[in-house]
Amino acid sequence: MSRRWLFADQLGPHFLDDRRQPVLLIESKSVFRRRAFHRQKAHLVLSAMRHRAAELGDQARYLRTETYADGLRQVSEPLDVCHPTSRRALDFVRRQGRVTILPARGFVTAMTDFADWADGTRRSSLRLDTFYRFARLRHQVLVEGADPVGGRWSLDQQNRRPAPKQAGRVSVPNPPTPREDDIDAEVRADLDRWEREGIRFVGRDGPRRFPVTRREAQTRLRHFLRHRLSAFGPYEDAMLSTDASMAHSVLSSSFNLGLLDPMEAIRGAEKAYRADGAPLPSVEGFVRQLLGWRDFVWNLYWYFDAGWRDSNALAARRTVPRWWQEIDADAVRAHCLSDALDGVRSRGWVHHIPRLMVLGNYALQRGWRPDELVDWFHRSFVDGYEWVMTANVAGMSQFADLGRMSTKPYASTGAYVDRVSDYCGGCPYDPKVRLGENACPLTAGYWSFLHRNKDRIRDNPRMARPLKQLAQLADVDAVAAQERQRGIDPP
Ligand SMILES: Cc1cc2nc3c(=O)[nH]c(=O)nc-3n(C[C@H](O)[C@H](O)[C@H](O)COP(=O)(O)OP(=O)(O)OC[C@H]3O[C@@H](n4cnc5c(N)ncnc54)[C@H](O)[C@@H]3O)c2cc1C
Ligand code: SF4
């Protein structure tokens, strides 16, 4: 039997074929030397690998080396590996010549099925909605025959409730917190030593907040399905300054480390609806995230060409400023942005809407380089990986490909943030104002973005109305000049 080489994001039992299969895990220090990762992300990944090695005992060889190549030189047996999750890792494995590459695991829709679906679809329809229908039918999730349960594929209209501003939080219990152990203490000591040796991290250290073992991840999943899923749908798109996780699952790092198979969560949610009375809009919303979005962005990463990651069709050439790179939330007065950055700094995680509509939106408006943002999101979030960042950052949030996966740029004014959150009340800026002392940087930034890019997005039918509104603004040149002057300074 070949020895199974497990990468750090392949840690669940579904990455092995046999309970006794010999395993190789390589902890490469050069990964952390090359780029400054969030300290808590480094901790999470190393702790998860070392916990997996401890679980496997003699079955696993655990090598701590400078590079993967150094590790491989110490192993002479035949090796196989499940399809790696980045092009760089795949090329490296291929170059070794002696490692058998197996099909990918940890996702639902196989790459070949996705390619068949995409090849048979009009390019302009390579959209989440059409893929999601295909996946629901292909995997028989929440369907009755050829129809969706509840009569509609998306029940989003029934979700979208405003943030419960008065209560200050969604009324659900917090996700269970993992307890640190000796392995975590050892990881923390190693990272302290690496920092003294000159390896740089970003973000703050803190107690470990995310699962590193399958058991911890399963506990969080069960808790979510029982206590939080019902409230997931209504508040999916809302934000609260006093409730970071709201009713989100906070499971992305567990799926991405391979601790959980997405299908077990999807089936668990379906059962919560069919057997335990969980509301269908919440269940459908959660299934759409996992079976839809997660698999869609994974498969697009491989389906599109390697150059997709570096697209920059909006000619966004400004380098990401230092305060953002260093996640200096204290330098920022704009409440929504400061809180989103603080979440990244203190825990390496904020939910979908701060990522897309605050962080991504602000960067898009400023014309920052998409490739630098892909790198920043990848390094700064506990769940960040190359495959997930390319689509979410370059494709969706920065519209750097002019819409290969999205129908329009996710640019919006402060009015959006005001509608879905409680941020604007505690902010020195006013979301309705675009010019002057208290002009909201997102509102002014929105008009300035449209002004700068009007020729590039002119042919997009969904941008016709905003561009018409732009043409009617008498003060647009002044707004654009004001935002140019704001430059790279924190707002
Ligand atoms: C700019 C930007 C950057 C992002 N970066 C990442 C990232 O580095 N890693 C990551 O896993 N997700 C990323 N996402 C997607 C999404 O924001 C996170 O998966 C989600 O916020 C994680 O929190 P959660 O586990 O509570 O998710 P929930 O809201 O509970 O959703 C359930 C699950 O669905 C999956 N999911 C939902 N949306 C997406 C999506 N767009 N892409 C991939 N998976 C999705 C995740 O596995 C998530 O755990 C990003 C989105 C944007 C707009
Ligand atoms: S006023 Fe603008 S900057 Fe302030 S919180 Fe609202 S949207 Fe954010």
H runs (alpha helix) in 239-308: 252-256, 262-274, 280-287, 295-303
Instruction: Count each helix (H run) and each strand (E run) in the chain, helices first.
Output: 23, 9
Residue 122 has pLDDT above 80, yes or no: no
Q: CB under 8 Å to 273, separation ≥6 — which residues?
A: 142, 149, 279, 280, 283
Confidence of residue 152 (pLDDT cuts 50, 70, 90): very high
Cβ–ligand 2 contact at 334 (below 6 Å): yes
Is the CB–ligand 1 distance for residue 395 below 6 Å?
no
Distance CA 99, CA 101 (A): 6
pTM for the full predicted model? 0.97
Find out whether 260 and 221 touch, Cβ atoms under 8 Å. yes
Q: Check residue 488 and report its DSSP letter.
A: T
User: 82: which DSSP letter?
Assistant: E
410-434: pLDDT as tens digits = 999 999 999 999 999 989 999 999 9
- In order of 84, 93, 96, 201, 440, the CA distances from 68 in angstroms are 13, 10, 11, 21, 48
Neighbouring CB atoms inside 10 A of 319's CB total 10
DSSP SS3 for 148: strand
423 in ligand 2 pocket by Cβ < 6 Å?
Answer: yes
Taking a C-beta distance cutoff of 8 angstroms, is the pair 443, 435 a contact?
Answer: no
Burial class of residue 406 in the structure, from the number of CB atoms within 10 Å of its CB (0-12 exposed, 13-18 middle, 19+ buried): middle
Whether 441 is in the pocket of ligand 2, judged by its Cβ within 6 Å, is: yes
How many A from CA of 477 to the centre of ligand 2? Answer: 22
Q: How far is the CA of 77 from the centre of ligand 2 (A)?
A: 58
Pairing of strands 147-148, 143-144: antiparallel
CA of 266 to the centre of ligand 2 (A): 36
Kindly state if the Cβ of 418 falls inside 6 Å of ligand 2: yes
Per-residue tokens: 71: 């590790």
Q: Nearest to residue 422, comparing CAs of 244, 232, 248?
A: 244
Mean pLDDT of 156-162: 85
Question: Distance, CA 252 to ligand 1 centroid (Å)?
Answer: 6
The overall average pLDDT reported for the chain is: 96
* Res 229: pLDDT: 98
**Helix ranges, 294-440 (H):** 295-303, 322-325, 335-347, 352-353, 361-366, 370-380, 386-389, 414-420
User: Per-residue confidence at 124, pLDDT binned at 50, 70, 90?
Assistant: low
Q: Output DSSP code: residue 79.
A: E
Q: Does residue 327 surpass a pLDDT of 90?
A: yes
Q: In this structure, which residue's CA is closest to atom 3 in ligand 1?
A: 392
pLDDT of 306 strictly over 90: yes
Q: Whose CA is nearest to atom 46 of ligand 1?
A: 252
* pLDDT score, position 32: 95
The Å distance, Cα 314 to ligand 1 centre, comes to 24
Please indicate whether residue 161 or residue 463 has the higher confidence score (pLDDT): 463
Phi first, then psi: what are they for 194, rounded to 5°? -60, -40
Yes or no: say if 404 and 308 are a contact pair by the CB < 8 Å rule. Answer: yes
Judge if the beta carbon of residue 280 lies within 6 A of ligand 1. no
Q: What angle do CA 125, 234, 419 make, to 5 degrees?
A: 85
Closest to 23 in 3D by CA, of 46, 50, 5:
5
Burial of 95 (0-12, 13-18, 19+ CB in 10 A): exposed
pLDDT tier, 121 (very low <50, low <70, confident <90, very high otherwise):
confident
- Ligand 1 centroid from CA 485, angstroms: 34
- Ligand 1 and 250: CB distance under 6 A: yes
Cα–Cα distance, 184 to 187 (Å, whole number) = 5
How far is Cα 302 from Cα 187, in angstroms, rounded to an integer? 33
Confidence label for 125 from pLDDT (cuts 50, 70 and 90)? low
Tell me the residue ranges of DSSP E strands in 105-197: 143-144, 147-148
CA distances from 219 to 211, 215, 251, 345 (A): 9, 6, 11, 26
- Alpha carbon of 350 to ligand 1 centroid (Å): 9
Q: What is the pLDDT of residue 1?
A: 79
Short-list 82, 61, 56, 86, CA closest to 72: 61
| Sheet bearing 23-28, strands edge to edge | 60-65, 23-28, 3-6, 79-82, 99-102
